Structure 1
């Protein structure tokens, strides 16, 4: 593993542009259950009860109660060492750095990253279905305050600004992510299972363009076949090792 980390560090040292894709695995050490792991939040509830537009139309208050619970859990979490390594990489590469995440937990921004593309939205954002405004909101609401009123038009036709099952991702955001995968020198995948498209296709794009692809993950994934190197281990341990070799 050490030799692969050293190789990745050497490749990154020679790069001008790096693109990083993160999934739920990077946030596990922060106390947030992974999306598909055995301790995942999804395992405690039926997905169809909450994470679909149909469920929202059927019972918006119930959906909001669940997201309010998740919001409270996530708000208590702090970025871990892996998040802070990515902050340092952005400091080093400046405009040559891009971070694409499937996570809705806001931890990359909380850690200090600026160039963050949130493919699946942000649990701390609210979208109004009447005035179409999207705004940041960290409030943990009481049950009798749900759904929360839009801070602009006061409508209660609001929803979490996250992508639900059956919904399409923002087309322009996907185009940007694909361009970042194609134009980088090094593509780094951290803590994602590779089971959700179109994010799972980004490493393949980088590989087809002849870029160096390295995966950091707790176990082998669907992305591993597209990686030049796979580094198995918890990201909060392996990424600091990478940074150590990178800054020597």
Structure 2
């Protein structure tokens, strides 16, 4: 039995047409992070924030999984062991590909959150500041997305998984966003073999036992094939 924990970032979804933070001309390039990805930005201009996430939600709804997502679903289905995907992405491409054991540490575009009572529900394609919470009826609906300055979800569960991992793999991440950037150190501390699969070396590439570079649609299926042959 092998326990594998996989961290995925924006790089794994880029080949499905979903932009990363640094894409020129992309959604992020048209807005300051402070305006659309912080609680303060939402308080200043909730309509702008909803418009931004409505656009991202529509884009994600049309996107399809690529070969990297499909390979990770195959790994979960075929491995003699446990596979946990911890994703920083707010799209649902892992689920579309067939992965079942997925933790969205930064929330999900297809979920809505009440800022008053913390109730969560499936988000409509279009959300607006005046939308009422279905539980408390307060007009306090926001995307169920973890913004800068907020605590990521399921951190205790993730820490426990890292402590039991035989293999930790980071795919398509910049290595600059904490606490995810420190997962490699946590996994290494508990004896896991650590692997980076990325288009180019991340900020933390030197912390991994093994690094492979190239498009996720190529590196991930190759690694999965090797892992399933062990």
Tell me the TM-score normalised to structure 2 length: 0.92
Distance 2:34 2:80 in 1: 41
Say yes or no: does 1:141 pair with 2:126. yes
Cα pair 1:29 1:80 within 8 Å, conserved: yes
Runs of 4+ aligned structure 1 residues displaced above 6 Å come to: none
Cα pair 2:197 2:216 within 8 Å, conserved: yes
Say yes or no: does 1:155 pair with 2:138. yes
Among 108, 114, 118, which residue is 2:94 paired with? 108
Distance 1:89 1:244 in 2: 8
Among 132, 137, 150, which residue is 1:167 paired with? 150
Say yes or no: does 1:209 pair with 2:190. yes
In structure 1, stretches of 5+ residues that fail to align are 1-14
Deviations 1:164-221 (A, max 9, x none): 1112224xx1122122122111111100011100011001111222211111000001
Corresponding residue SS for 1:117: strand
Moved more, 112-121 or 42-51: 42-51
Deviations 1:43-98 (A, max 9, x none): 12111221111121122122111111111111111111100111111112376111
RMSD: 1.9
Whose helix proportion is higher, 1 or 2? 1
Residues 189-228 of structure 1 mapped to structure 2, 5 A cutoff: 189-228=170-209
Q: 1:147 to 1:87 in 2, by over 3 A?
A: farther
In structure 2, stretches of 5+ residues that fail to align are none
Aligned to 1:4: none
Q: 1:94 to 1:147 in 2, by over 3 A?
A: farther
Residues 85-96 of structure 1 mapped to structure 2, 5 A cutoff: 85-93=71-79, 96=82
Tell me the TM-score normalised to structure 1 length: 0.85
Corresponding residue SS for 1:104: coil
Aligned to 1:19: 5
Cα pair 1:67 1:160 within 8 Å, conserved: yes
Cα pair 1:141 1:148 within 8 Å, conserved: no
Aligned to 2:85: 99
Aligned length in residues? 229
Shift of 1:146: 4.5
Shift of 1:33: 0.5
Aligned to 1:230: 211
